[in-house]
Amino acid sequence: MTTVDANLSRYHALFETVRSRRRALETLKGADQFVAWGALKLRQRRSRLVVLLEWATQVDSMAPEVRSLPETALDREIEELRGAFVRGRVNHGQVLRAMAVVREVASRATGEEAYVVQLAGALALVHGRIAEMVTGEGKTLTGSLAAPLLAWRHRHLHVFTTNDYLAERDEESRSRIYKRCGLTSGAIVQEQSPVERAGIYARSIVHGTPKQITADYLRDQIRMGRIDSAWAGWQRLGSEGPLVPGLQACLVDEADAVLIDEGVTPLIIARSRHEDELAPAYERAREIAGELEQDRHYLVDTLRKKVKLTAAGRAHLGAMVTDENWATARRAEELVRQALIAEHCYIRGRQYEIVDGRVVIVDEYTGRFLPDRSWEHGLHQSVEAKEELEVTADRETLARLSFQKFFRSYRFLCGMTGTAADSAGEMERVYGRPVTVIPTNKPVIRTQEPTRYFRGAEAKWSAIVERIRQEHDTGRPLLIGTRSVEASQLLSERLEVLGLKHSVLNAHHHEEEANLIARAGEPGAITVATNMAGRGTDIKLTPDSRRLGGLMVILTELHGARRVDRQFIGRAGRQGDPGGAAIFASLDDELVTRFVPRLGAWVAQRANYDELTGSRVATKVFALAQARSEGRDRRGRTQVMRQDDWVDRYMPG
């Protein structure tokens, strides 16, 4: 590459970076929102499911001709189609032809022949949709059919997934397809240096996680500061260009987890302000919090993770103002409230764990550790004081960005997941992306049992363990889902007492995640997994496992979002395999005690039996709890979107 070409490439990267940073997608309201919704529906008509399936059938009809092409002729056709996409002069017929060609490339490179429904899913992605495909229907192959077309059209494509392992695995398994299509690819993972990352970002297709790529995007923002043009960035950065060369197009795998569950999570880059001079203040606040009485001195709102001091509580704190640990009475009250929140709303084994003497946040949706994250406004330090650990230094925020705003900054966005239909309205409203439910290649024959409800936790766990014992005696493989590390360990202890050999997959065992989940389909296997740990890895059944009824999924607790239950249940019965699913829930579960505590307690007091299966009242209790949980999460995401809009309007740049 000549010096002129290198300078042009750097300038283009700066231009794209500035453009994506300044792109504001304001949340519409009232009539504007209605008009935008109508326009979206009109655009959707051309690529609705029935049309996508018709197109996929046309692509499939090209297979005999494309399959007969010798290698040189196939390469020649790839180059012609690639040129048409790059020049922006591609018509509908060429899109279908390109899909047929890439399908053949994938078949020759990996031995995987895409089904018609996978072709429909890939075409949905090319047309900017969120494709819902049931677990086991081959989303990885579907994505790799769409990726070359998107990379040809948009120059750079970011493919997002939920963890570094999946990013590396998918890039490695798809790289031969990309290379044959004249594209370069790479994966961004934690261990790489800035120089390595810069080289990977320059490639056509980049696999990575939201955390990694957003963090690099924020580091560029810190280096560039507030700039209004690519020329200003050129003057500031000199010969160095940005790490992330703009946000052209992205394809999001596990779109529900990335765009919805993590969508409102702000990624923050911070640095330590001082050593840890506030440590005594956090420790003293913890001591004082222990002297206060709940309901008398303070009120706890576990649903919103808030604590309100009463008049008696404030009076009790009045004497502390003279303590040398406090700068002001307001600061004293703030730290004591944080200590109370840490005590009542953040539970070890649910929201965090202790690893090597450090508080490590646990992702409540996946059960995975988030070692590089910390809570803000002194909460992390309050939890450390609660656990009697060394209080780490407070941190100064240098840059922050919600994943929701980050993904809205892309020119083009599409995604795929096993459960997006439940969030279709939100996908349309927030990201302007319609959801298409792709039918399965084979009918789903999984057996779904009615949910079993119990008055208390002890009766529920006894029933779960007994069901596990019964199924294990037949040799049927079992996958048991828990909501927390704490619950997975409790169940593990009960299984050990009965001498039932099993594997535990939670945040403590994330290194073994792929291997453990891949073996979960073997006869006699018992796998206890926290939430959706293991997503992206197929559970393949042996012939003996199929004969025994296939994988049996047991959920030990209902989740706050119904689609998370669907995700876990979807691990069984993939690709026409046999399988079964059962859900157990009790009125002591966190879902009830957090969202409908009084109603749950009222029903429990009046119940005459330990098992309440079939009770309409119990059914309504859990339905109401899930509805409130989903409503809270939805309001939280809406609030973050409004904050992003406010920042775009009043603090541009």
Q: Which tokens in the block code for residue 626?
A: 């899930």
pLDDT in tens, 315-362: 877 766 555 556 667 778 888 899 999 999 888 877 888 888 888 888
Is pLDDT larger for residue 427 or for residue 159?
Answer: 159
Q: In this predicted structure, what is the pLDDT of residue 271? A: 65
Is pLDDT larger for residue 209 or for residue 32?
Answer: 209
Q: Look at residues 127, 411, 414, 430 and name the one whose alpha carbon lies nearest to residue 247.
A: 411
Q: How many CB atoms lie within 10 A of CB 276?
A: 16
Q: What distance in Å separates the CA atoms of residue 142 and residue 255, rounded to the nearest whole number?
A: 14
Q: What residue type is 6 in one-letter code?
A: A
Q: In this predicted structure, what is the pLDDT of residue 44? A: 66
Which of 122-126, 241-245, 565-569 is the least confident region? 241-245
Q: In this predicted structure, what is the pLDDT of residue 174? A: 95
CATH for 3-45+125-267+403-437? 3.40.50.300
What Rg, from alpha-carbon coordinates, does the chain have?
Answer: 27
Q: Look at residues 266, 269, 507 and name the one whose alpha carbon lies nearest to residue 370.
A: 507
Q: What residue type is 570 in one-letter code?
A: G
Q: What distance in Å separates the CA atoms of residue 448 and residue 465, rounded to the nearest whole number?
A: 19
Element (H, E) at 205: strand 205-208
CB 201 within 8 A of CB 550: no
User: What CATH homologous superfamily does 274-393 map to?
Assistant: SecA, preprotein cross-linking domain (3.90.1440.10)
Q: What distance in Å separates the CA atoms of residue 115 and residue 138, rounded to the nearest whole number?
A: 9
Q: What distance in Å separates the CA atoms of residue 557 and residue 548, rounded to the nearest whole number?
A: 25
Say if 3-45+125-267+403-437 and 447-635 have the same CATH topology.
yes
| Helices and strands in the chain, H and E counts | 27, 21
Q: In this predicted structure, what is the pLDDT of residue 232? A: 54
Burial class (CB in 10 A: 0-12, 13-18, 19+), 34: exposed
pLDDT band at 272 (very low <50, low <70, confident <90, very high): low
E runs forming strands in 351-445: 352-355, 358-362, 369-370, 395-402, 412-417, 435-437
Which of 102-106, 527-531, 590-594 is the least confident region? 527-531
Residue 2 pLDDT greater than 60, yes or no: no
Q: Which 3 state secondary structure label does DSSP give 639?
A: helix
- CA torsion sign, 501 to 505 to 508 to 512? positive
pLDDT band at 34 (very low <50, low <70, confident <90, very high): low
Q: What is the mean pLDDT of the chain?
A: 84
Q: What is the pTM of this model?
A: 0.81
Q: Where are the domains of the chain?
A: 3-45+125-267+403-437, 274-393, 447-635
In the CATH hierarchy, which top-level class contains the domain 447-635?
alpha beta
Query: Which residues 6+ apart lie within 8 Å of 333 measured at CB?
Result: 309, 314, 317
pLDDT band at 48 (very low <50, low <70, confident <90, very high): confident
With a pLDDT cut of 90, the percent of the chain lying above it is 45
Q: What distance in Å separates the CA atoms of residue 236 and residue 141, rounded to the nearest whole number?
A: 42
Which of 9-18, 296-305, 473-482 is the least confident region? 9-18
Element (H, E) at 494: helix 485-497
